[in-house]
A = this chain, B = another copy of it.
Amino acid sequence: MQTDLKYVMISLVCLFGECMSLEEPKFNPVRTEDARCIDWSKTPLVPAVVQEQSGAVLMLAYVSEEAFNLTISKGYAHYFSRSRNKLWLKGETSGNLQRVIEVRVDCDNDALLYIVSQEGSGACHTGEYTCFYRKVWEA
């Protein structure tokens, strides 16, 4: 009898926990005033520098307002592909998603910096880890 009661209690706690986690948002963004600084009508596609926490610059991509909003609501980097003319979840097909840790905006409100955790084999479609794998000049 006691074991049954314990089981019921545990089940209730688990069920309550599950309900709680369903009610809570999966991702809890902390958005500041600065997020509204970007004038999307003036700059519909804002270049975003994509950097790992280690410091490595992985790529440069373009962000539409929709891509920006999806990025901060989902926590994964979304861009706008100029060549394919469509919204793009980075890594949707390759699995090389970019979990976004932080977003910064520049002084002119026309460039973004995404600090990301790169998943999978890297950022570049060539198979290289970063898109900036070629040195063209050095001092």
Mask: chain A, 103-127; 1 = CB below 8 Å from B; 0 = not: 1111110011100000000001110
Number of copies: 2
**A32 interfacial by beta-carbon distance below 8 Å:** yes
Q: Report the separation of the CA atoms of residues A82 and B122 in the bound assembly, to the nearest whole angstrom.
A: 32
A135 and B60 in contact (CB under 8 A), knowing A107-B126, A124-B107?
Answer: no
A49 and B60 in contact (CB under 8 A), knowing A35-B136, A124-B107, A134-B34?
Answer: yes
Residue of B99, B104, B136 near A134 (CB, 8 A) is: B104
Residues of A in contact (CB 8 Å), total 45
**A93 interfacial by beta-carbon distance below 8 Å:** no
Mask: chain A, 51-81; 1 = CB below 8 Å from B; 0 = not: 1001111011000000000001001000000
A104 and B139 in contact (CB under 8 A), knowing A49-B60, A60-B47?
Answer: no
* Chain A contacts to B: CB under 8 angstroms: 27, 29-32, 34-35, 37, 47, 49, 51, 54-57, 59-60, 72, 75, 99-108, 111-113, 124-126, 128, 131-139
